[in-house]
Amino acid sequence: MKYFDGEFREIVTKAVCGKGKEYIESKHTVEARNKPDSILGCWVINHVYKAKKKKDHVEISGSYEVNIWYSFNDNTKTEVITERVHYEEDIELKEKDDTCISDDLEVIVKVIQQPNCLGCHIHQKGNKIEVEVEKEFLVNVIGETKLSVKISKDDHDFYREDRHHD
């Protein structure tokens, strides 16, 4: 392989150097001001996050609000609890390319499944409510890499006038 006699060229470009995907289920316990009789609804909103590359994984830290609507006082009154939940998740890079030539890596996160309530249950004793939440992330790590491209010495005339274009 001859790099500098016109046979090959090196091209420096940005490319995906690592990928990971993870589905996560978690449980959170929330305390109500009154003893709950029944759960009337539960939803998760206002998800925010940031990500950074660590050694062989991407660390995502974020938060969301859990809202629980419940009845109390023998199902005669209702109340909504809002609690902000903070989390940190490590997404392992299952596909890695160690040929990246720069340390300046960009992390792109796509939320495949926004945090969503899977279930909401009242504990047997006390005022505690347990919420099950799901979320899923796809991460790509972008960095600079080199490509070697073979230079063709054939004289292809791509601009000939008699060439037909359909």
What is the tens place of the pLDDT at every residue in 11-60?
888 989 899 999 999 999 999 999 999 999 999 999 999 999 988 899 99
Identify whether 52 is part of a domain: yes
Identify whether 1 is part of a domain: no
Name the pLDDT band for 102 (thresholds 50, 70, 90): confident
Identify whether 156 is part of a domain: no
Burial of 151 (0-12, 13-18, 19+ CB in 10 A): exposed
Identify whether 165 is part of a domain: no
Task: Please tell me the total count of domains within the chain.
Answer: 1
Burial 12-38 (b: 16+ CB within 10 A, else e): eeeeebbbbbbeeeeeeebebeeebbe
pTM of the model: 0.79
CB 133 within 8 A of CB 121: no
Tens digit of pLDDT for each residue in 125-159?
Answer: 889 999 999 999 999 999 888 888 888 766 555 45
Identify whether 128 is part of a domain: yes
